[in-house]
Amino acid sequence: MKCAVYIRVSTDKKEQETSLINQERYFYNIIAEKGWELHKFYIDVQSGTKANKRASFKEMIEDAKDKKFDIILSKELSRLARNGQLSYEIKEMAEQNNVHIITFDNAINTTVGNIHMSGLYAWVYDQESQRTSERIKASLNSKARKGEYLGSHAPYGYQVINKRLVIAENDTVNVIKDIFNWYVGGTGFDAIARRLSKKGIPTPATVAQKRNASKYWHGSTIKNILSNPHYTGILVQHRETSISVTSELRKQLPHSKYIIVPNAHPPLISNEQFDTVQYMINKRKKTNTSQKYHLFTNYLYCIDCGKSMWYRQNRKGYICGNYAKNGNLACSHHAIKETAIKKVILENIQSFSIFIKEPEIVLKLKQNDITQIEYSQSALIKLEEKIAAIKSKKRKYIDLLADNIISLDDYHDMMNAVKNDQIALEIEKSELNASVHPNNFSNELNAIRNILIKLKPINEVTSELLHHFVQRTDVDKEGVPTVQYRFNLFSSDLFLQYYLRTTLHMCRLWKHINRLYFFCLESTIFKNSKISGKG
């Protein structure tokens, strides 16, 4: 059997290094005695109650699903899992993927059918973990009552020294004071956020060096700062707790359970100013600058930043949501009137409804569809030849590696090159396969006809019409929309030619009408008649 060995220690202390070495030697001896083959050691330095925090454990589970080994070896079931639910999940995974498990505490050995004691052992380990968790929580609560700060990151404007909050020695202190003063002066959450973003002030996430920290401030961040009592020197902790030792979920505790220590650290804001801000937050109406749902919500997007467009009643149209939220630092001004996008979509769909009613055009579409199928079939044959050539190359490279003509690194480089080519060809092949079915055209045409009959008469743009026909619409900085429709026939060359031809014809017609109108304005007959300019 090919073996995966899982080793876990709870801490990264020096004394655990000896434990790791001893466990490795232990399993080397077992594998040698059994005559098995070692696939890989999977080693974690982490608690055993939560699988999603153990990188090597997750890697081992994925490798098991990929059939990379036949058996998992571990010293004890507690090394694999310290709770019943996780132990059952591991056992179920092993059964589904034909992977055996042996632990040398006699908890489980699936090679001889011994799985009955795994639940009992897991329950014992679960209880032990729960007791350990309760002891840790009691210790943390005791430290919190002494005024020690237990958070992973200090509040913006503070730093942690010797487990105590002290005022930070940087400009974040002045930023906190500015935020409170601006809000008392009448500036709202989002306006404060935009002001800080324009000044290039680092966000709390940036200062804390968090991953994927945004360079833009948000109104919610400002509100959290203004609502944080820590800035008055009060330390408030134990506001939430984990649901159980095996769960990542946490629950909010009632206010009566909070651990509150007054005068635990130097204040940045007076109690009077903090109370004023809380009163103002509760009294003020919430100004919602987030997206308001309207007809084209989730259909309109800014072509530059990719963010959705937000409806604004005072503009009777949509603007880039990123620009609305963060100003011109985030994106340039993109706007479009709702009437403009309605006009484009309505004209397209009305033109198409006329287009597909003409028998000659439908016949041409069918002929084009047949031509496309013939082209796709021919292209598929050529693609198959290219894919076969790549497979031949891969076989040649493995032979060169086996004969020591190329190194392992050279082999990987050559394989990566042909693998990328093969992926591109396979994608192209799947697209061509989708286009060789003769029923695609008929099915799409029938679907469009049924929708048009259902929505008839089509004289306005409704949410139902958008749902059936429109995929998304991108708007550029000039306010010009590019509509992506759900049906391929809308983008067919024949329809585009028809649409352009009819549009050009209408433009010429209006040109002649305008000439006639201005000629009449200048004529003596028109001026002397009773016909008004409006008439």
Residue 104 domain boundaries: 2-130
For residue 510, is it within any domain? yes
For residue 63, is it within any domain? yes
Q: Out of 233, 257, 283, pick the residue that ends a domain.
A: 283
Q: Out of 283, 314, 341, pick the residue that ends a domain.
A: 283
For residue 288, is it within any domain? no
Q: What is the largest CA-CA distance in the chain?
A: 118
Q: Out of 250, 267, 283, pick the residue that ends a domain.
A: 283
For residue 99, is it within any domain? yes
- Amino acid (one-letter) located at 513: I
Residues 14 and 42 in one domain: yes
Residues 151 and 268 in one domain: yes
Q: Fill in the DSSP letter of residue 201.
A: P
Q: How far is CA 340 from CA 295, 319, 416, 429, 482, in A?
A: 13, 13, 49, 40, 12
- The CATH number of whichever domain residue 182 belongs to comes to 3.90.1750.20
Given phi > 0 = left and psi -120 to 50 = alpha, else beta, which region is 112?
alpha
Q: Looking at residue 509, what is its pLDDT?
A: 52
For residue 489, is it within any domain? no
Task: Give kind and range of the element (H or E) at residue 501.
Answer: helix 493-522
- The CATH number of whichever domain residue 112 belongs to comes to 3.40.50.1390
Residues 263 and 201 in one domain: yes
Residues 123 and 203 in one domain: no
For residue 347, is it within any domain? no
Residues 150 and 263 in one domain: yes
Residues 52 and 179 in one domain: no
Q: Looking at residue 348, what is its pLDDT?
A: 84
Q: Looking at residue 173, what is its pLDDT?
A: 93
Residues 275 and 153 in one domain: yes
- Beta strands 470-475 and 481-485 are antiparallel
Q: Looking at residue 372, what is its pLDDT?
A: 66
Give the residue ranges of the chain where pLDDT is below 50. 120, 123, 245-246, 287-291, 494, 505-506, 524-535
3-state secondary structure 105-162: CCCCECCCCECCCHHHHHHHHHHHHHHHHHHHHHHHHHHHHCCCCCCCCCCCCEEEEC
- What 3-state class would DSSP assign to 254? coil
CA distance 288 to 41: 54
Q: Fill in the DSSP letter of residue 308.
A: B
**Tokens 């466990």 label which residue?**
23
270-312 pLDDT tens trace:
999 999 999 888 887 554 444 456 888 888 999 988 888 898 8
- Amino acid (one-letter) located at 188: G
List of residues 6+ apart from 227 with CB closer than 8 A: 278, 281
Cα angle at 261 between 259 and 265, to 5 degrees? 135
Residues 412 and 460 in one domain: yes
